[in-house]
Amino acid sequence: MKDLWSISTSEIAGDKESIMRRGNVYQIANGYMGYRGTLDEYGPEEAVGITLAGIFDRVGSAWREPVNAPNGGFTRVSLDGVELSALGGKVRQHQQTLHFANALFERETVFASRAKTLTIKSSRFLSADIPNLGIIAFSLTCDKAAKVTIRTGVDCNVWDLNGPHLLQLAAEKRESVLLVQGVTNESSKHVVVAEAVELNFGAETNETQDNRNLRVINLRAEAGKTYRFIKYFAVFTDNDPVGRPLPEAAIATVQQARLLGYEVCLGKHNAEWDRKWERCDVKIEGDDEAQHALRYSIFQLLMVAPVKGSANSIPARALSGQVYKGAIFWDTEMFMLPFFLHTYPEKAVELMRYRIKTLNGARRKAKTEGPGYRGAFYAWESQETGDDACSYFNVGDPLNGRDLRTHFRDKQIHISGDVAIAMWNYFKLTGDDSLLLEGGAEVILECARFYYSYAFFKKEKGRYEILDVVGPDEYHERVNNNAFTSMVAKETFAIANAAVDHLRRNHPKALGALLTKIDIQGELRCFGEAEKLLYVPAPDAKTGVIEQFDGYFQLRDATVEELKAKMVHPNEYLGAGQGLAVPTKIIKQADVVAMLNLFKTHFSAEIKKANWEYYEPLTEHGSSLSACAYAMVAIEFGNLAFAYKYFLKTATIDLEAKYKVYVGAVFMGGSHPAANGGAWMTAVLGFGGVEADENRIAINPRLCAKWKSLQFNLAYKGDNFRIKITKTSVTITPSPANPREHTLLVAGRPAKCSPGNPVTIKYRRTR
């Protein structure tokens, strides 16, 4: 039977591409850093990476990217003078496992050399309790007496796409702790790694060569005896508010951990993970494949969720490396946030604080990006300051190496509305308006201000239009009246008006101060008018189909297969100036369908069906965000079989690791947290039929054929509920700690839920 809490393999990934994919699939992370799923003895060639959240660097004119820390987890062993590596052709047996329950990576490898075997075992975790800390238990056993040398310590030869990022690297040993310090090239931020061991065998010397700070332990290993040691490493940077020199903080962290010992540290780490799963696990009865893939997806999100107080967000490739510049896209607000909002609001608040922290960057972008733009134009690819990391030439042509002009940065303006909607959803679902007062309302108003400065009033039509944009379908650039973008802009005006109303009623003083601070009083009236008069393409009266943008219906008919057959390079980009998709109706990803999903209560099931049927055959699904949007809309009109197929596609994206790793000439390989969030959304909001707003939670279940039951937790306005859905009933168990009664709507019927008392409501499947 499949273990639903782990993944495992006995194969060694040998070629570059497989090593890269394996490193993503088996990564561990704790929000502060991600450690790729590579083996202890690997180096930069095998893309070992300890990628740090929220610290970026740029070398020359190359793309700015997150910094990888020196590898404090490095260990390499020699047997009778022969250095062992899983890639060295001496492996007799290998097994590696990643445990979802506590993000523990284990490997066991048996090497055979000169008639002797040596078994290496290691278990590694990044502490969920102390974010700067990583711990590895390492052991080796020889079947015959042998001379063994262990080199363990900190390897500064880090994998970089556009590095090197750390300059002035200095290595030393303070008492028994190895220390490495460096500064980033662009903004001189310090990065410090300390390593301590708990080791009581062999003779130890120190070796600082080849850019490594190592202990060399020589021992005469006895036959059959196991030699075990524990490594503790800590990473600190100038982003950590430690209030003392970073080396001191790093040394103290590893020394304290060593004092506590492996078991105690692991126990604390496990306790944190138990709490995460207690709140966030989803149980599917009757479908192990779906259960496993969904759990892996949730696991990925939990691992990379920002550390408390960091105001960091989650990059589009999470912490799986420097890919995609470690940048934060709309992926976070639209695809990951719902999971955190519904299960783990303490993480959602960090994601939203990140947008408050980067508001000034968004203001700078508005000022510099276009004529007369005002307010907040959020970065398409956002890093630590909120200035845009997206280049005007963001895709390379794999045929000739030339840069292609793309308009992701300057025209994909829906990003600001995505942020505003997310900010408002945080308030609606948590009931907590403190974030609005902390800067959230300012974000919303500045986003509305941006759209007002961008919108064009067509006198002859008496309406505002949003012109010259790129919607989610990036294959068609600079289009007018893109339905998704216009709808998001309209909603932003509505939210701005609602936020002002809320503050006026509840925090009039704070509202007054905010309006004065950003000098926006005079514009509020305009937002009201824009909310009413902003044009959004409507469903066609006959067909119900919404035109994706002006003129879309006039584009050439084509099929995805036809375009693919015309490609002259496997990584060819289908958009930008001359892309094959540009003159055709072929779209990159859900666009109108993404809108129908985001604004699901605005449209009937018939409209959803009509648009889904029209657009799905025209969609390349060239982005990992696409499948879940199509799955969720399919559920809305009852195509559960399709939805299930696309749910699996989304949920297994990183398990199967078969996604494309090049967009044009640009390497994009890494994990896909937005798809992970999409898997959760499809299961809980889609099949579970959960729909929460500021007034209530409604549950309209549409379980797919295979699922006997679906169980999950919901956090709502500070209270918690456990929900179990079967094919005929919904059982709601409100937490006994809830301070009040709630009324949930189950298949349209009110269910009174008082603290601690389970309620079961029978329902009939309508589709």
The catalytic residues are 474
Stretch binding ligand IFM (CB under 6 A), from 47-55, 214-222, 328-336, 386-394 = 328-336
State which of positions 73-92 bind ligand IFM (CB under 6 A).
none
Is there a cis peptide before residue 164, judged by omega within 30 degrees of 0?
A: yes
Residue type (1 letter), 165:
H
- The beta strands (E) that lie in 440-531 are given as 456-458, 463-465
Stretch binding ligand IFM (CB under 6 A), from 90-98, 325-333, 360-368, 533-541 = 325-333
- Which is closer to ligand IFM, CB of 41 or CB of 331? 331
Helix/strand/coil for 15: coil
How many beta carbons lie within 10 A of that of residue 308, not counting itself?
Answer: 12
Residue 635 binding ligand IFM, by CB under 6 A:
no
Q: What's the closest the beta carbon of residue 539 comes to ligand IFM, in angstroms?
A: 24
Residue 477 binding ligand IFM, by CB under 6 A:
no
Q: Tokens for 268?
A: 């604390």
Contact 712, 684 (CB under 8 A): yes
Contact 324, 330 (CB under 8 A): no
- Which is closer to ligand IFM, CB of 73 or CB of 669? 669
What letter does residue 584 receive in the DSSP assignment? B
With CB under 6 A as the contact rule, the residue among 330, 451, 464, 475 that binds ligand IFM is: 330
Residue type (1 letter), 628:
C
What distance separates the 2 farthest-apart alpha carbons in the chain? 91
Residue 738 binding ligand IFM, by CB under 6 A:
no
By CB under 6 A, the count of residues binding ligand IFM is 9
Residue 623 binding ligand IFM, by CB under 6 A:
yes
Stretch binding ligand IFM (CB under 6 A), from 27-35, 41-49, 329-337, 414-422 = 329-337
Stretch binding ligand IFM (CB under 6 A), from 10-18, 88-96, 324-332, 475-483 = 324-332
Q: Pattern of binders to ligand IFM over 657-676, x per CB under 6 A?
A: -----------------x--
- Which is closer to ligand IFM, CB of 354 or CB of 427? 354
Q: What's the closest the beta carbon of residue 331 comes to ligand IFM, in angstroms?
A: 5
Q: What's the closest the beta carbon of residue 131 comes to ligand IFM, in angstroms?
A: 25
Q: What's the closest the beta carbon of residue 338 comes to ligand IFM, in angstroms?
A: 16
- Which is closer to ligand IFM, CB of 131 or CB of 472? 472
With CB under 6 A as the contact rule, the residue among 57, 195, 331, 491 that binds ligand IFM is: 331
With CB under 6 A as the contact rule, the residue among 70, 306, 472, 701 that binds ligand IFM is: 472
Burial environment of residue 731 by CB neighbours within 10 A (0 to 12, 13 to 18, 19 or more): middle
Which is nearest to 165 in space by CA: 242, 250, 52? 52
Q: Tokens for 370?
A: 């276009």
Q: What's the closest the beta carbon of residue 380 comes to ligand IFM, in angstroms?
A: 8
- Which is closer to ligand IFM, CB of 54 or CB of 472? 472
State which of positions 495-524 bind ligand IFM (CB under 6 A).
none
Q: What's the closest the beta carbon of residue 316 comes to ligand IFM, in angstroms?
A: 4
Stretch binding ligand IFM (CB under 6 A), from 31-39, 327-335, 353-361, 752-760 = 327-335
Q: What's the closest the beta carbon of residue 93 comes to ligand IFM, in angstroms?
A: 38
The percent helix, strand, coil of the chain (3-state, each to 5) is 35, 25, 35
- Which is closer to ligand IFM, CB of 19 or CB of 674? 674
Q: What's the closest the beta carbon of residue 472 comes to ligand IFM, in angstroms?
A: 6
- Which is closer to ligand IFM, CB of 331 or CB of 433? 331
Nearest-angstrom CA–CA distance, 82 and 146: 11
Nearest-angstrom CA–CA distance, 574 and 663: 9
- Which is closer to ligand IFM, CB of 302 or CB of 674? 674
Q: What's the closest the beta carbon of residue 572 comes to ligand IFM, in angstroms?
A: 16
Helix/strand/coil for 466: coil
Residue type (1 letter), 559:
T
Contact 180, 153 (CB under 8 A): no
Residue 625 binding ligand IFM, by CB under 6 A:
yes
Residue 329 binding ligand IFM, by CB under 6 A:
yes
- Which is closer to ligand IFM, CB of 668 or CB of 745? 668
- Which is closer to ligand IFM, CB of 329 or CB of 716? 329
- In which region does residue 64 sit, left (phi positive, over 0), alpha (psi from -120 to 50) or beta (all else)? beta
Stretch binding ligand IFM (CB under 6 A), from 111-119, 257-265, 326-334, 364-372 = 326-334
Cβ-Cβ contacts under 8 Å for 61 (sequence gap 6 or more): none
What letter does residue 513 receive in the DSSP assignment? H
Q: What's the closest the beta carbon of residue 329 comes to ligand IFM, in angstroms?
A: 4
Q: How far is CA 766 from the centre of its chain?
A: 35
- Which is closer to ligand IFM, CB of 246 or CB of 625? 625
Helix/strand/coil for 623: coil
With CB under 6 A as the contact rule, the residue among 126, 130, 265, 316 that binds ligand IFM is: 316
Q: Pattern of binders to ligand IFM over 671-710, x per CB under 6 A?
A: ---x------------------------------------
Reported as half-sphere exposure (CB side, CA atoms, 13 A), residue 132 has a value of 26
Q: What's the closest the beta carbon of residue 320 comes to ligand IFM, in angstroms?
A: 12
Residue 594 binding ligand IFM, by CB under 6 A:
no
What letter does residue 556 receive in the DSSP assignment? B
Stretch binding ligand IFM (CB under 6 A), from 102-110, 323-331, 561-569, 593-601 = 323-331
Contact 248, 260 (CB under 8 A): no
Nearest-angstrom CA–CA distance, 59 and 70: 17
- In which region does residue 430 sit, left (phi positive, over 0), alpha (psi from -120 to 50) or beta (all else)? alpha
- CA distances for 10 relative to 96, 97, 107, 108, 285, angstroms: 6, 9, 9, 9, 28
- Which is closer to ligand IFM, CB of 330 or CB of 630? 330
What are the phi and psi torsion angles at 46 (to 5°)?
Answer: -95, 15
- Terminal CA-to-CA distance of the chain, rounded, Å? 33
Q: What's the closest the beta carbon of residue 501 comes to ligand IFM, in angstroms?
A: 32
| Cα angle 431, 436, 437; round to 5 | 115
Nearest-angstrom CA–CA distance, 67 and 55: 6
Q: How far is CA 399 from the centre of its chain?
A: 31
| Sign of the dihedral through C-alpha 199, 204, 209, 210 | negative
Residues lying near ligand IFM in the complex (CB under 6 A): 316, 329-331, 472, 474, 623, 625, 674
